[in-house]
Structure 1
Amino acid sequence: MGDNGANTKFRRVAFVTVGTTCFDALVRAVDSQTVKQELFTKGYTHLLIQMGRGLYIPTKSEGGDGSLAVDYFTFSSSIADHLRSASLVISHAGSGSIFETLQLGKPLIVVVNEDLMDNHQSELAEELAESKHLYYARPQTLNQTVADMDLKSLVPYSPGDATPVAKIINRFLSFPDD
């Protein structure tokens, strides 16, 4: 059987969300064998992918036997429930998804969609990553980010901390950072 009972005792879900967008590059990245193996190595048991309007269909898997259980759906009215039950969130760079996840105190990897022309979202993610509130990746660096992440080094985000947002607004208005 090979399973020493460790998997039945606890469930650690890595939840991927692309919001209402189409972000096939992210879905394809998390569905890759390397990312799934890194997540499994880090102790995650399940991968749940919210794929939005994407066309790429991930591979479902029952898990067990040294691999991750994988499931997916397009949209859900209960994204908040999925966020709450997740041990790790891998999200697109939408500010709503970012702040909702941080306010729930969940470890977060934000993956930037480089196909979007207007990439101000990545600036917010970069600022929050600099403050160590989250990890920041591109689809092609996601496996490395998962491999290297040390969730203990993340700093809890306090909803009252507007510094990252203020910095970005100032940059848009071209005020110097103090």
Structure 2
Amino acid sequence: MDEAANENYSSKMVFVTVGTTCFDALVKAVDSQQVKEELTNKGYTDILIQMGRGSYVPSKVTREDGSLTVDYFTFSPSIADYLKSASLIISHAGSGSIFETLRLGKPLIVVVNEDLMDNHQSELAEELAERKHLFYARPQTLHHTIQAMDLESLVPYTPGNPMPVVTLMNRFLGFPTE
């Protein structure tokens, strides 16, 4: 890429996180040609994958032909900076990852790990998707979700007010409520 083109280049990074688990199905889905094409069609330029304990290694790609760049790592002490710099987050259905992303006001696609036995995570993801705070997918439907997603349809997440609970606990424990 020449310097003039590089100056006009505006990156749109997709950050993918699987947390501390192994979620190879998500990493494979993101690494698929279908998902990469849909992300390119939506204007995304870079994919960074936090792959956790997984054994599937995505293909690293550097930009030479105008395609997406793809990079990955296993773990980081904190993913906060990656979340902040991303234009789109694709995440496993862990509540920490979900709420951290929603608090940042970032567009989010939650992909449910169907291999988990007690899949309470899917209930949380489905409920938040129903309220239009995020998009919900399974590994095999991720490319369809990206293709159909309309970021303008998302409703910002507003955390609840904890004060009524605090007041109730203070009364229960006999502390002053003022």
**TM-score if structure 2 supplies the norm length?**
0.86
1:1-178 matches, within 5 Å, as: 5=5, 8-160=8-160
The alpha-carbon distance between structure 1 residues 120 and 141, as it changes in their structure 2 partners (threshold 3 A), is same
Q: Give SS of 1:5's match.
A: helix
The alpha-carbon distance between structure 1 residues 156 and 72, as it changes in their structure 2 partners (threshold 3 A), is same
Bigger Cα Rg: 2
Q: Give SS of 2:81's match.
A: helix
Q: Give SS of 1:60's match.
A: coil
Do 1:3 and 1:65's aligned partners in 2 also have CA atoms closer than 8 Å?
A: no
Displacement of 1:9 in angstroms is: 2.6
The alpha-carbon distance between structure 1 residues 4 and 152, as it changes in their structure 2 partners (threshold 3 A), is farther
Identity of aligned residues (%): 73
Displacement of 1:146 in angstroms is: 0.4
Query: 1:57 and 1:39 mapped to 2: Cα distance?
Result: 19
Query: 2:104 and 2:118 mapped to 1: Cα distance?
Result: 27
User: What one-letter code is carried by the residue in structure 1 that aligns with 2:9?
Assistant: K
User: What one-letter code is carried by the residue in structure 1 that aligns with 2:23?
Assistant: F
The alpha-carbon distance between structure 1 residues 8 and 45, as it changes in their structure 2 partners (threshold 3 A), is farther
63-72 vs 115-124, greater mean Cα deviation = 63-72
Query: 1:3 and 1:111 mapped to 2: Cα distance?
Result: 38
Displacement of 1:125 in angstroms is: 0.3
Displacement of 1:103 in angstroms is: 0.2
